[in-house]
Amino acid sequence: MLVEVIDTYELMSQRAAEIVAEQVHRKPTSVIGFATGSTPKRLYELLIQEHDERGLDFSKVTTFNLDEYVGLPPKHDQSYHYYMWENLFNHIDVNPSNVHIPHGMADDIDHFCAWYEEQIEAAGGIDLQILGIGANGHLAFNEPGSSLGSRTRIKTLTEKTVKDNARFFDDPDMVPEYAITMGIGTIMEADRLLLVASGERKAQAIRNTLEGPVTAMCPATIVQLHQHSHIIIDKDAATALDYRHHHGIAEPKE
Ligand code: PGA
């Protein structure tokens, strides 16, 4: 586990962008796993900048997203399809036929999930998987209690997630109650993991993830068992760590 604590969200995003860009330069046919949420937004802006200003070429890259809400059409502004096209894919030269995002309107979800796993395998597996982390330690929509060996499947959203999401929807009937998510076992098969976290809101989850025991109650702790996991966090997300000095932060924990 390589842990880097970086001063600010901006510098953290720059470091993460460097790693993704380096992967794409080194292997233009890379398979990259993408995440949604607020944390990677700046990382994606910086990748767009790399593409515009330095010609970072995504034309041969294949992408797989971690998750998607069930029941939301891809054009819905809360769908993760919409998020990815708005925040990244519309602005780079990725080939749309190389983009994979779970299909929240699939008729047969179990069949779709099995197909998604097959597509990852057919692409040769994921070279680099970008990850965020929930304040409760979730990875993608693998909420606490998810099997650490799980594969891509449908999950029921927690009551809290459903409530939190309600504010984004004019029509209460559209608030998703289920999501399709890669499993923890699926995520663990990526060659490299790149987990980004920012802000004090994530400090406890980061502490559990890096210093706690591996447990399904904090799915992100599984990164401890991955041979090439790279965790990049800003100083605020590092405030609860006991071993901060080990990660280059000198001041003692209060
Ligand atoms: P956030 O979400 O980046 O919006 O905090 C991360 C997550 O819940 O996985």
Reported as a pLDDT band with limits 50, 70 and 90, residue 248 is low
Q: What are the structural domains of the chain?
A: 2-250 (3.40.50.1360)
- Please say if 208 is a catalytic residue: no
The one-letter amino acid code at 73 reads P
- Please say if 228 is a catalytic residue: no
pLDDT at 193 over 90: yes
pLDDT at 250 over 70: no
Q: Is 40 exposed, middle or buried (0-12, 13-18, 19+ CB in 10 A)?
A: buried
Vertex 3: Cα angle to 248 and 80 (nearest 5): 135
- Of the candidates 50, 65, 67, 127, the residue annotated as catalytic is 67
pLDDT at 142 over 80: yes
- Of 38, 102, 40, 41, the closest CA to residue 69 belongs to 102
- Rounded distance from Cα 87 to ligand 1 centre (Å): 15
Q: Is the CB of 134 under 6 A from ligand 1?
A: yes
Q: How far is CA 244 from CA 85, 223, 250, in A?
A: 37, 18, 7
Percent above pLDDT 70 for the chain:
97
